[in-house]
Amino acid sequence: MKGALRDQQKKFRTDSMTDHHTHHRKGRGALSNPDARFEADRHVAFDDDHDYDQSVPATTLTPDHARSIISRNDSPDIPFEQSINPYRGCEHGCVYCFARPSHEYLGLSCGLDFETRLFHKPNAAKLLHEELSARAYRCKPIALGVNTDAYQPSERKLGITRQLLEIMREFRQPVNIVTKSALVERDTDILADMADHNLVHVMVSVTTLDKDLARLMEPRATAPPRRLAAMRALADAGVPVGMLFAPLIPALNEPEMETLLEAAAQAGAESAGYVILRLPHGIKDLFRDWLEQHYPLKARHVMSVVQSLHGGKDYDAQWGQRMRGRGPFADLMAQRFAAQCRKLGLNATRRQLDGTRFHVPVAAGGQLGLW
């Protein structure tokens, strides 16, 4: 990243140093803004009994003129090889988000910076058209919004995700979408067209039906009942939908597992999945602070079970272990989830999107379309 974006990073790094105190801010998930792990300077927080400004940090949006848009992945425990993320950072502010450390590659914090210093890719659709048109491209499903949500609040104004879907529909490129926003319902017209050709599957993340927990844990995400309503609308339009219970947090939202699966089935879900809480890098400290602030009586128990899943550590990044954990609690979660899915008829079949319909469209006059 060069030029104006690099200058913005320097400014953001300077600004982000001003807040290392743990205060709850309405509408934000992280309580602090710790230094990025790649930065040379380190700041230590201390309480000098000063009444610091606890106002809600404003959201900033900066263009990120990417050189390519499709990312490739070869991790053996991730079920996709291609992905697109139209945004860096996510205003939903989910305190547990595994993607928070990715902001540190920009020189920014995985704390408040991640949910307030956002970047968008205005040339995403143009790049996608070019990459799908390339002779070397081989069609495989694309996962949309798996790192940061493709339907976060900025999408209402920018419409980058809708532009990408229009390109995918034109090329008949299969896509898997993951979101915790009801804004996905806006694109029902495109998604229904793609569903007619078995080109799309939508997973809606629902982590709790407790409105107080949702407000604290996912402060700017769509309220869970509204997400379920969006699932119902998509299902009624013929779009295949599923529910993702991610993350499953022991002793916090874990007791809701069966209830959430039942609500998803009633909303038209045909599939469901779950992921155990992941706490890589600085997220473990952010999450511990958040637990102590909002659920002090549960904090020690929650972290004790989390550590039991990862061999005594807050997190184990080993492939095959990081998503599910190991040990008696992990086994129990797998058994409970599978039993409830069987009872509700979820995951009865495994949907495979159709990549054989992919084609590069030809513009009027017989020439390939150019941007």
How does pLDDT run across 159-215, given as a tens digit for each residue?
A: 999 999 999 999 999 999 999 999 999 999 999 999 999 999 999 999 999 999 999
- Whole-number Å distance between alpha carbons of 84 and 165: 11
- Whole-number Å distance between alpha carbons of 111 and 102: 11
**Is residue 279 a part of any domain in this protein?**
no
Query: Could you give the angle at the alpha carbon of 201 between the alpha carbons of 319 and 91, nearest 5°?
Result: 70
Q: Would you place residue 365 in the very low, low, confident or very high pLDDT band (cuts 50, 70, 90)?
A: very low
Number of domains in the chain: 1
Structural domain boundaries, residue 74:
4-39+58-270
Task: Beginning with the edge strand found earlier in the chain, give each strand of the sheet holding 241-248 in spatial order.
Answer: 71-72, 82-84, 142-144, 175-179, 200-205, 241-248, 271-276
**Is residue 79 a part of any domain in this protein?**
yes
**Is residue 137 a part of any domain in this protein?**
yes
Q: Would you place residue 31 in the very low, low, confident or very high pLDDT band (cuts 50, 70, 90)?
A: low
**Is residue 206 a part of any domain in this protein?**
yes
**Is residue 116 a part of any domain in this protein?**
yes
**Is residue 49 a part of any domain in this protein?**
no
Which pLDDT belongs to residue 33? 66
**Is residue 325 a part of any domain in this protein?**
no
CB count within 10 Å of CB 235 equals 16
The CATH number of the domain where 150 resides is what?
3.20.20
SS3 7: helix
Kindly report the pTM of this predicted structure. Answer: 0.86
Specify the range with the lowest mean pLDDT, choosing from 13-27, 55-69, 309-323: 13-27
**Is residue 307 a part of any domain in this protein?**
no
Read off the pLDDT of residues 281-292 as tens digits, 9 standing for 90 and up: 889 999 999 999
